[in-house]
Amino acid sequence: MKSILLICAMLLGWNSMVRAADDKRFVTDCELSDFVKTPRYAETVAYAQRLAEASPMVHYTTFGVSPEGRELPLLIVDKEGLASPEEIRARGRMILLVEACIHSGEPDGKDAGYMWIRDMVIRKQGVEVLDRVSVLFIPIFNVDGHENFGARNRINQNGPEELGTRVTGQLLNLNRDFLKADAPEMRAWLTLYNRWMPELFVDVHVTNGADFQYVMTYGLESHTSFLEEGLRQWTEQRFERQLNERMAAVGFPIFPYFEFRNYNQPESGILIDVFDPRYSNGYASVRNRIGLLLENHIYKPYKQRVLATIEMLKACAQILGEEQQTLTALIRQADARVASSDFRKQPLAFEFVPANRDSVMVDFLSWERDTTISDLSGAPWVTHNYEKPKTVRTSLITSFDSTISVQLPEAYILMPQWDKVRELLDLHGVRYTRLNGGERISVETYRYTGATFATRQSEGRIPVKAAYTTQTEELLLPPGALLIDMNQPSAKAAAWLLEPSAPGSLTYWGFFNQVVQAPGEFWVSLPYMEVKGRELLQKDPALKAEFEAKKASDPAFAKNPEAILRFFYDRVKKASEQNAEIHPAWRVMDRSQITRLDI
């Protein structure tokens, strides 16, 4: 009996040593440095692979390759080790996508995500959340920027010691690229997103700017119509409230991502930021899913920021599991509504500004502050006293007015030569069919009348503010044109891409510059108008009357030979290029026009 007890004790001791050894293998590089350092790309990938080797619940894979040749890492965490959306959804589980290092100088999500997953699959802490939720984790999205490592990046950020940069190896900001998808990394991400369509997408950042007590702020599209109404109400009334309650309970109160009305003065009032689909959480809303932006506070110690992020990821997963049936039904309803004619009865809003009504009074956790005249610059210098926390009672603006909106068509018809646009439709899950063409169809068109081009580049492009007219025309359909029927869940994504007035539209980013600004070259010479002008006057009495009236009313014109020839030249040029300025996505406003098309 004594020997058996001894063997049991030895086995228990050995098991404890094995667990201790295993646990040591899975202490993250960040923890080993006491939250002073964050690991490089190679160490980050190696840790992911160790988790996958140790736990059947973790699958390591990649979802693309960066311009500098680095693979984009992805962990799939599922209770049964399933690694496809079809298998996971067949088990009835929700999908949570967590993304870190889209701005690789903001690595909080990378280290927090690993610690959270490690605690579940290795230490079995909180693993029960995986009964209803599976997790996709991107530890580094901007892999090339991540390896542009240095101590001078984000010098005002309170740790870690060295980190990557905001932009990619191609100097693009991925969090402006969700719609136009110029970056190869973003194209890979969109392919991943379309395949999985996660119920909740969490994007982890670190904010700049004002100083306050909160370790974390957050962004949710719960105050505008960017998100379908049923999902918006759930986000505001259920998800957002529970996040605030749970985070406060674990010692990390949170506050919406915001701006002060007056810089560094919370008592002046607070404005919530909203984000269109150029940005991560705005993009999720356009796809009828929930997007959560986390903005940790740049001045807080790195350890605090990482620990707060872990608690937020736990809360998100728990709420997702608890709200499984409700949220699944609401997403199904949102997809159906956006794909219906009812959705198009109201204009789609593209831009909002805060309104000075419906504000609420809130407690904002700030600091006592002093303003002195700097002995360095001579400017007023605001400093905060971290020994004196202060609660400010102030107004929070909760209502917004739309400043840009458009009545959606029943369908768009995209001209067949715009292959790059077709590729974007595929990436955004927008369905279309090819037309045989040959019919004449009544459509609403935009014809560009001019444009203002930015004086400097943004994201490698020259932003465009275009002017145009709107009219109904009967036009001949070319073979191969794409019919984008708006009876589909991705209807909002199609509109954001194709409507010229939408912020971040393809027009804005210069995809249609050839038609926004018609070609400058016209091969007919001005002197030829001596011949053609006479011909036009002879054939067109109305033009002749206009010409004679102009000469009579404008003596300077009548005495200017070049102006007279230019009068005819401009008309010939316009007739020759009559469709040069037409927006290549025609709007079908009458559904009966669709049913008679040859598909």
Cα–Cα distance measured from residue 72 to residue 192, given in angstroms and rounded to the nearest whole number: 11
Could you tell me the two tokens for 435?
Answer: 């037309």
Handedness of CA 146, 150, 151, 155 (dihedral sign): negative
Cα–Cα distance measured from residue 83 to residue 90, given in angstroms and rounded to the nearest whole number: 12
Beta bridge partners of 384: 369
Q: Strand, coil or helix: what is 595? A: helix
Q: Strand, coil or helix: what is 373? A: strand
Q: Helix crossing, 2-25 with 41-54: angle to 10°?
A: 150
The gap from C-alpha 429 to its chain's centroid, in whole angstroms, comes to 15
Cα–Cα distance measured from residue 67 to residue 384, given in angstroms and rounded to the nearest whole number: 43
State the DSSP H helix or E strand holding residue 76, giving kind and residue range, or none if neither. Answer: strand 71-77
Give residue 228's identity as a one-letter amino acid code.
E
Beta bridge partners of 404: 351
CB 29 within 8 A of CB 139: no
Q: Beta strand 411-414 with 482-485: parallel, antiparallel or unpaired?
A: antiparallel
Cα–Cα distance measured from residue 442 to residue 426, given in angstroms and rounded to the nearest whole number: 26
Could you tell me the two tokens for 388?
Answer: 């004196």
Nearest residue to 248 (alpha-carbon basis) of 305, 312, 296: 312
CB 130 within 8 A of CB 57: yes
Cα–Cα distance measured from residue 401 to residue 481, given in angstroms and rounded to the nearest whole number: 36
Nearest residue to 118 (alpha-carbon basis) of 80, 83, 77: 77
| Burial category of 213 from C-beta neighbours within 10 Å (exposed 0-12, middle 13-18, buried 19 and up) | middle
Q: Strand, coil or helix: what is 439? A: coil
If one counts every other C-beta atom within 10 angstroms of the C-beta of residue 48, the result is 23
Give residue 112's identity as a one-letter amino acid code.
A
Beta bridge partners of 272: 258
Cα–Cα distance measured from residue 224 to residue 404, given in angstroms and rounded to the nearest whole number: 13
N- to C-terminal Cα distance for the chain? 84
Task: Tell the residue number behind the tokens 């996660």, with chain if given.
Answer: 198
Tell me 427's DSSP state: H
Q: Which residues of 217-246 are buried (b: 16+ CB within 10 A; e: fewer)?
A: bbbbbbbbbbbbebbbebbbebbbebbbeb
Beta bridge partners of 138: 99
Residues of the chain with pLDDT under 50: 1-19
Task: Tell the residue number behind the tokens 């599976």, with chain if given.
Answer: 134
Task: Tell the residue number behind the tokens 């923890």, with chain if given.
Answer: 31
CB 220 within 8 A of CB 237: no
Handedness of CA 363, 366, 368, 373 (dihedral sign): negative
Cα–Cα distance measured from residue 420 to residue 397, given in angstroms and rounded to the nearest whole number: 40
| Burial category of 541 from C-beta neighbours within 10 Å (exposed 0-12, middle 13-18, buried 19 and up) | exposed
Cα–Cα distance measured from residue 489 to residue 337, given in angstroms and rounded to the nearest whole number: 8
